[in-house]
Amino acid sequence: MDIEKARQEINTLCDELNRHNYRYYVLDDPTIDDREYDLMLRRLEELEGQFPELLRADSPTQRVGGKALTTFEKVSHAVQMGSLQDVFSKEELFDFDRRVKQAFSDAEYVVEPKIDGLSVSLEYQNGVFVRGSTRGDGFVGENITENLKTIKSIPLKLNVGLPFIEVRGEVYMPKKSFERVVDRQLINGEKPFKNPRNAAAGSLRQKDSKVAASRGLDIFVFNVQQIEGAELHSHKESLDFLTELGFNTIPGYKLVDSIDDAIAEIDKIGESRGNLEFDIDGAVIKVDDFAMRAELGSTSKFPKWAVAFKYPPEEKQTRLVDIEIAVGRTGVLTPTAVLEPVHLAGTTVSRATLHNQDFINEKGIDIGDIVTVRKAGDIIPEVLCVNEHNSASSFKFPDVCPSCGSTVVREQDEAAIRCINPDCPAQLLRNLIHFCSRDAMDIEGLGPAIIETFVDNGLITKTEDIYTLTADKIEQAQLEGFKEKSINNIISSINKSKDNDLGKLLFALGIRHIGAKAAKLLADNFKSMSAVSSASKEDILNIDGFGDIMAESVFDFFSNPKSLELIKNLEENGVNMNSNSVVIDNRFEGKTFVLTGTLEQFKRSEASGIIESFGGKTSSSVSKKTDYVLAGAEAGSKLDKANALGVTVISEAEFGEMIK
């Protein structure tokens, strides 16, 4: 295909896919199915790969993420991204109305929901998205353009090519996305986000935009900050105009001409908040006319032409009828209150978290008590307090795991009570998902859904069963959707994982307190699984970077007969038990490197591998113990700290000389 034909097809595909994105993510009215969309997107990716010079700034392929940053550059806001004064009562709303009506008796208001998310600025030149930034302190924020591009409801190109427009919006995580993210965190044994707002904020500040792309974020745009090429005279007019441009505009905004109507609308929004797919923490009332706003002005903190009404958290009393104990991937026993159903914040609540034994003791909670319940962040039901005790004591955790019957333990300085049996059935699914994950054994094709299917159908009953799977076994199970090619791909990936380095296997075993880096240190120091499993706590403590808790955790894991049986079975099924790392020479022995900035000649993983092959090690933070900081382009705070501490800073060219 010649370049002109490619240009024409790329333009057609981009325009059509962007139209479908708008219909799906903004209008919620798709006109094609997912398969048809995916085929078009794949064709576009293929053409852009052949003709990279034809890549458009608004191409849908730019939404998947992938550009990793080392730091976020500062952005000065030409128009301050201010905040609104909060009010908490109807009396305060009447006071606001009196102040406005003293100046303008005919003032009208726009009432809209106040989205509980993270405020951002979006800038467009000639209709094309060029920069996005956080609010920061209102005057200076951070450039998060690459992460914002992954939000599919943000148009990369507007319907009208204005010379310039800057808009303000609120990025949020829909409730369904939040539940998926939290489920994934719990499965991986990670600390879950507390609420969707924290989740959205954490996702937008990810330095790898692929992470942001996986979080299912969305946005509502609610204000024009600056504009060239059009004149707007009121807030309602500006919101209508933003919708015409293709933005996902704040929903349910309404123009009213009296404070009574405004309060009625605020009450209406409050009553509906439990049924919304996103979190709100209030409603905003704004003077509509821009000329009136200019006359009303601002205080040193807030505009005088708007206030934000905050809804009180809804609390209800109900009876706690039972306490159930669930077992997580890391063996932690988590208590859940089973409640007499109660309607709370728009939904019926029958279960609430009780956190741990200390929380239960502190509140004096027991079965049969009358308790007060609310939704933390309007999402997660929690027990606040006991209103009426019906028992002289508090609930006590069982001494044995409710799933496998093994004795449970509570380690020193920890609130968690856990089961340490690696064969515990309750932990099986989560352990398997971790075992097969990318940073662990990296078994492509064995994702969470397929693992769950295999467990449900008895193909996998324990970790080592992964390596006894055959194509015949899977075919005989007659599972829906499993064809010959997909089955062979799974088996091939399983066989490939047998050759993984010892470090990946150690991480896959899910030893508490041992992440991927610590697992690699174990592998590099002991070289074989037998050496690791027979090491004393003191031997493990001698590894630079290991503390007492980590060493004890490793020692305890390999002191468990069940762990040794698992390793024996894995080895018998052909899984590599030795370190694959090769030390070429010891020129960097005892030396610690920190990598910072964007490296041009090496990937970070490659540079780290080279350093380790010469006997050195890498660290993620700069300290007095750091020997070298390898600094690439746009190196940030780590470079500053290295200079302050007098640590030797080297360039890629100098590093190249050192490894010749």
> Which residues are identified as catalytic?
114
What sections of 106-246 are H helices per DSSP?
145-149, 175-187, 196-204, 209-213, 235-245
Angstrom CA distances, 293 to 231, 239, 289, 304, 306, stand at 16, 16, 6, 8, 9
Q: Do residues 236 and 287 lie in contact, with contact meaning Cβ atoms separated by under 8 Å?
A: no
Task: Find out whether 224 and 217 touch, Cβ atoms under 8 Å.
Answer: no
The residue written with tokens 């113990």 in the block is: 625
> For the chain, what is the total number of helices (H) and then of strands (E)?
24, 22
Of 546, 615, 622, the C-alpha closest to 583 is 615
Residue 444 in contact with residue 437, Cβ under 8 Å? no
504 sits in which H/E element:
helix 502-508
Question: How far apart, in whole angstroms, are the C-alpha atoms of residue 621 and residue 152?
Answer: 35
- 268: its two tokens: 């209406």
Number of residues assigned to the chain: 660
User: Nearest to residue 646, comparing CAs of 616, 625, 631, 632?
Assistant: 625
- For 591, other C-beta atoms within 10 Å of its C-beta total 16
Cα distance between residue 375 and residue 314, in whole Å: 8
* Whole-number Å distance between alpha carbons of 627 and 604: 17
Closest listed residue to residue 630, CA positions, set 449, 645, 570, 602: 602
Alpha-carbon distances, residue 507 vs 153, 214, 612 (angstroms): 37, 23, 18
| Pairing of the two strands 128-134 and 347-353 | unpaired
Q: Letter for the amino acid at 199?
A: A
The secondary structure of the chain in percent helix, strand, coil, rounded to multiples of 5, reads 40, 25, 40
Contact residues for 217 (Cβ-Cβ < 8 A; gap 6+) = 150, 151, 171, 172, 173, 177, 200, 203, 204
**Dist. CA 195–CA 172, nearest whole Å:** 11
Q: Which residues contact 12 (CB under 8 A, 6 or more apart)?
A: none
Tokens 């301050």 found at: 80
Question: How far apart, in whole angstroms, are the C-alpha atoms of residue 578 and residue 643?
Answer: 39
Which tokens belong to 181? 């993210």
Neighbour tally for 595: CB within 10 Å: 23
